[in-house]
Structure 1
Amino acid sequence: MTNVAVEQSGSDVTICIKGRFDFNILQEFRNAYSEHQDSGLNFTIELAETEYIDSSALGMLLNMKNHLGSEDRAITIKNCQPNLMKIFSIAHFDKKFKFV
């Protein structure tokens, strides 16, 4: 079973993470955004079905941001559970990513 699903609609790419967002899905997650190099795309990370994140997930998000190149490009993190939002806040990710 895959834990990472990618949906593209026009210029919007949504990467859905199901279950655990940790080192075990590193390659799947990297493949999800590496295939979409177009600078005109908007990326959303959908976490509605994510129950756990660890420090490697934080690193993967930072690597994604660096890989996509533009500091101005907004990567939106959507439907984050309160327990996960606490981790993002402690790590100051609320300053690096847009949360909705």
Structure 2
Amino acid sequence: MSEVRVLHVPQRFDFSQHKTFTEQYSAMLEEKLCQKILMDFSRTEYLDSSALGMMVLLNKKAKAQNIRVSIKGAKDNARDILLIANFEKLFEFE
């Protein structure tokens, strides 16, 4: 089993994704071998403030378990929003 888990972020990442997003990352955090969660933003075109809040909560829970969280594939508007929110200070960008 790999130590890295990939969380595929949807095309439109907003509050309607809360339940699915939380269930996905919670399952990853419960895995004994998980050392890193990689959020794949390659399909994401839109995210709002609730999505940013969900990401902060994921980061907080992961950090408590010494699990790293990083972002890959963010582009265009999604990347701009993440950078405006200073998320490069919370997450490693790949």
More helix by share: 2
Is TM-score (shorter-chain normalized) higher than 0.5?
yes
Q: What amino acid sits opposite 1:58 in the alignment?
A: L
Aligned partner (choices 89, 92, 95) of residue 89 of structure 2: 95
TM-score normalised over the length of structure 1:
0.81
Aligned partner (choices 17, 34, 41) of residue 25 of structure 1: 17
Question: What root-mean-square deviation, in Å, do the aligned CA atoms of Structure 1 and Structure 2 show?
Answer: 1.8
Structure 1 gaps, min length 5? 1-8
1:19-98 aligned at under 5 Å gives the runs 19-36=11-28, 37=30, 38=32, 40-70=34-64, 73-98=67-92
Q: RCO (CA 8 Å, sep 6+): is it higher in 1 or 2?
A: 2
**SS at 2:74 equivalent:** coil
More strand by share: 1
After TM superposition, what 4+ stretches of structure 1 lie above 3 angstroms from structure 2? 69-73
TM-score normalised over the length of structure 2:
0.86
